[in-house]
């Protein structure tokens, strides 16, 4: 009852202050594209728990697969025995890998753990120490993952020294070069690849460099798709110097961008591919996929974890892959994506001095607002910029929440990100877009 939950809420005081929270109350249930709170509020979920419940909350087939597995066996420690869902999941994943060379799997619980394992794998098999990551990258909050994360200082402020041997180059995002959204893609790419050459000449010798880690769509850094030429450039530098290319698809993978994996837009082959989040639609599971030729160099026992590759999570993930095929998810993502882009581009056309950029891929979409100081005088008049409210993105997100839709901001810029369920109905997507339009108008007014 609600009196039970209001007395429970008191224990919120006993939850660490280290966690942030964007909605009030207690979330009690989820169904498809909606979640409900203890006070009866029903909210449209445009976060999917940060890109996790991609097939909607409590998808019947996935929940049933997990429940059935619970009655069979829950925990099989991965160094004690294979379990059936573990191997069945590999059988289902092999045909959808973005490159047939990716034939060696190990499973963990979280995205961060997958990143840690990838860094360890890269160092072990190359015998080299250094790692290059992207400015604006997010790879997680554990120590190695935090060291390659470059999106916000909040994740590592006050906890240095971090893991040594990490270097970074700009990601081809106009902000990172102090430019405006109209800078040409080729100019962006060539400047970033030039910085990579410079880094390898000045700071980390290729023979000391184990890996480059990249998100094919920069997530927490602002929802920016990497141009194909950039990913091809990274691949060719890696090939030239024997450096491994780690592609982090923890957020962009599993159909989020309109292909199974975002790296498929470029045709570039990863040496190590990371996935999590949408992989098991809410059950904790991540995967590190590489080539057998590389992972054969690992000593048995050098990798592992008590819960890694949990049987219930693997059974859920098997149902996820089946549901994606059976429910024809990919074409749906692309249809809804076109509708969302059309709606947001109309807003941009109507509010050119407030909406600076609409970008992303598939249903990983962002709107960036102009900042009052304005990174670009070319985009609007000084008078119009003066009228732009401070902290526009978080104010818009807050208004959306008040109007019944949960939505997140991202990056150090004024960015609101859309991560709706991949199987959301056209009507619910339209409803979400309308709530967003109203929220923007309310904040501007
Ligand atoms: N990599 C990327 C690209 C991510 O977006 C995230 C999570 N937002 C992570 C790694 C870390 O995953 P987790 O929170 O499951 O540790």
pLDDT along the chain (445 residues), means of 10: 76 94 96 97 98 98 98 97 98 98 98 98 98 98 97 93 97 95 96 98 98 98 98 98 98 98 98 98 98 97 96 98 98 98 98 96 97 55 65 97 98 97 98 98 94
Q: Do residues 415 and 409 lie in contact, with contact meaning Cβ atoms separated by under 8 Å? A: yes
Listed in order, strand segments (DSSP E) in 381-439 are 405-406, 408-410, 415-418
For residue 50, the CA-to-ligand 1 centroid distance in Å is: 9
Q: Do residues 215 and 277 lie in contact, with contact meaning Cβ atoms separated by under 8 Å? A: no
Predicted-complex ipTM score:
0.99
Closest ligand 1 atom, CA of 115? Answer: 10
Q: Report the pocket of ligand 1 as residue ranges, CB < 6 Å.
A: 50, 110-112, 115, 138-140, 215, 219-220, 248, 250-251, 276
Q: Do residues 136 and 222 lie in contact, with contact meaning Cβ atoms separated by under 8 Å? A: yes
How far is the C-alpha of 437 from the C-alpha of 198, rounded, in Å? 44
The residues of the chain that CATH labels 3.90.1150.10 are 2-55+328-444
Give the model confidence (pLDDT) of 63-111 as tens digits: 999 999 999 999 999 999 999 999 999 999 999 999 999 999 999 999 9
Q: Which CATH number fits domain 62-326: 3.40.640.10, 3.40.50.720, 3.40.50.300, 3.40.50.2020?
A: 3.40.640.10
CATH of domain 2-55+328-444: 3.90.1150.10
Phi-psi region of 187 (alpha: psi -120 to 50; beta: other; left: phi over 0): alpha
The string of DSSP codes covering 114-126 is HHHHHHHHHHHHH
Give the model confidence (pLDDT) of 368-422 as tens digits: 999 876 544 444 444 555 678 889 999 999 999 999 999 999 999 999 999 999 9
212: how many CB neighbours lie within 10 A of its CB? 24
The residues of the chain that CATH labels 3.40.640.10 are 62-326
How far is the C-alpha of 368 from the C-alpha of 366, rounded, in Å? 6
Closest ligand 1 atom, CA of 249? Answer: 3
């Amino acid at each position: 009852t609600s009196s039970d939950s209001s007395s429970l809420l008191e224990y919120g005081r006993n939850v660490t202050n280290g966690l942030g929270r964007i909605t009030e109350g207690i979330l009690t249930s989820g169904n498809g594209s909606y979640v409900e709170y203890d006070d009866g509020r029903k909210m449209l979920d445009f976060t999917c728990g940060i890109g996790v419940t991609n097939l909607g909350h409590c998808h019947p087939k996935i929940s049933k697969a997990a429940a059935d597995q619970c009655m069979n066996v829950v925990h099989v420690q991965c160094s004690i025995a294979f379990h059936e869902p573990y191997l069945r999941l590999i059988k289902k994943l092999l045909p959808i890998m973005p490159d047939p060379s990716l034939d060696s799997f190990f499973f963990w619980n979280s995205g961060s753990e997958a990143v840690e394992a990838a860094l360890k794998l890269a160092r072990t098999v190359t015998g080299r120490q250094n790692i290059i990551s992207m400015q604006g990258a997010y790879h997680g909050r554990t120590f190695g993952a935090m060291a390659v994360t470059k999106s916000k200082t909040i994740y590592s402020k006050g906890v240095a020294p971090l893991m040594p041997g990490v270097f970074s180059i700009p990601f081809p995002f106009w902000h990172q070069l102090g430019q405006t959204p109209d800078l040409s893609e080729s100019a962006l790419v060539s400047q970033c690849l030039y910085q990579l050459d410079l880094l390898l000449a000045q700071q980390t010798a290729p023979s000391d460099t184990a890996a480059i880690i990249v998100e094919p769509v920069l997530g927490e850094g602002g929802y920016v798709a990497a141009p194909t030429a950039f990913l091809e450039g990274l691949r060719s530098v890696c090939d030239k110097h024997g450096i491994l290319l780690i592609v982090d698809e923890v957020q962009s993978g599993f159909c989020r961008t309109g292909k199974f994996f975002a790296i498929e837009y470029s045709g570039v082959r990863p040496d190590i591919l990371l996935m999590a989040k949408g992989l098991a639609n809410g059950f904790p599971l991540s995967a590190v996929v590489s080539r057998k030729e590389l992972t054969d160099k690992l000593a048995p026992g050098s990798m592992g974890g008590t819960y890694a590759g949990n049987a219930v999570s693997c059974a859920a993930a098997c149902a996820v892959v089946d549901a994606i095929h059976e429910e024809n998810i990919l074409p749906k993502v692309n249809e809804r994506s076109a509708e969302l882009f059309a709606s947001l581009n109309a807003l941009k056309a109507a509010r050119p001095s407030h909406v600076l950029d609409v970008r992303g891929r598939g249903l990983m979409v962002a709107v960036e607002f102009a900042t009052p100081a304005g990174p670009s005088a070319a985009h609007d008049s000084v008078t119009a910029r003066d009228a732009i409210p401070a902290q526009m993105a978080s104010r818009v997100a807050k208004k959306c929440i008040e109007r019944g839709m949960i939505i997140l901001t991202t990056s150090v810029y004024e960015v609101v990100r859309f991560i709706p369920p991949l199987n959301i109905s056209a009507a619910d997507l339209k409803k979400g877009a309308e709530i967003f339009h109203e929220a923007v108008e309310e904040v501007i007014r």
